[in-house]
Homo-oligomer: A and B are copies of this chain.
Amino acid sequence: MAITVVGSVAYDTIETPAGRRERCLGGAATYFSLAASYFTDVRVIAVVGEDFGRRQEAVFTARNIDTRGIERAKGKSFFWEGSYMKDLNEAQTQQTDLNVFASFEPKIPEAYRDSEFLFLANIDPVLQRRVREEMPGVKLVAGDTMNYWINDHRPALLEVLKGLDLLLINDAEVRTLGGNSNLLKSARAVMALGPKSLVVKHGEYGATLFHGSTPKSEEPEAFRAPAMLLEEVIDPTGAGDSFAGGFFGYLASVPEITPATYRRAMFYGSVMGSFACERFGTERTQQLSRKEIDNRFELFRRLTHLD
């Protein structure tokens, strides 16, 4: 089933101990789409500037990603510059130029309206909500956010959370949003705000899935997936969005979603997140095969299973 994703398509300048790349293709919607495209059809809603050319567009179309929802506006694309020289687990932002993104008004192409899955990447919750409301027919809605919206735009974010089936955020964010340093307590507090399920990303330590809807059933309330042990993290940019793409893409690809589907989705999320770190930007995620993905899935099984 098709996923529509709304979020940023951007240029990133990235510095890590492995090197530096100027203005490579980035943005949450880019990483998400590429990762999800190995599992299902993906349609993007974003805005780019006049600096977004045929070569960038080809990165999407090569993966059969529908780009009709990528609007071209007058001006420059969203630009971000970050450095991981101090800590590979946390980018130091050097520069953020919103450019055309500052006045982003998501427009949903007619051809996208039959999408069964919707992913609201990390953008202004006011826009997330608008897109959500304009697509009332979707089966499953997931979203991401960040500390800026949690701290400074909480009322708008709370409105979005009410409508989410699934929220994917990182470790620090769930503790901030849930208001408790205990992960389990914060996870429950966040799910009480709306999301039926919650995925907490722990960076190099993996991720935890919480199922709010089944606390008293026989099914486990939580599932933990590890992260891959990588020889070298070249560039962690987009790892979280790639996780979300693998996770949500896999969910959208199965005929029926069960608790076992969610567990496998956690592994596919970790798999796609791990590939993202192996080269700069989207370099690795552009060039994968489903076989490579499934081989790594099996590595994750061996890394975690007793027998």
Contacts and interface: CB of A to CB of B under 8 A. Distances in A.
Interface of A: 88, 181-185, 202, 204-206, 208, 220, 222-226, 229-233, 260, 263-264, 267, 299, 301-307
A120 B197 CA distance: 44
Given A88-B181, A231-B184, A233-B182, A306 B260 contact: yes
A233 B267 CA distance: 27
A305 B260 CA distance: 10
Contacts of A223: 303-304
B229 A263 contact: no
Given A183-B204, A224-B304, A225-B304, 5 more contacts: A205-B206, A220-B303, A222-B229, A224-B303, A226-B226
A257 B230 CA distance: 28
Contacts of A302: 220
B183 A306 contact: no
B306 A267 contact: yes
28 contacts: A88-B181, A184-B230, A184-B231, A185-B232, A202-B205, A205-B205, A205-B206, A206-B206, A206-B224, A206-B226, A220-B299, A220-B302, A220-B303, A222-B229, A222-B303, A223-B304, A224-B226, A224-B229, A224-B303, A224-B304, A225-B304, A226-B226, A260-B306, A263-B306, A264-B306, A304-B305, A305-B305, A305-B306
Contacts of A306: 260, 263-264, 267, 301, 305
A179 to B, nearest CB: 14
A210 to B, nearest CB: 9
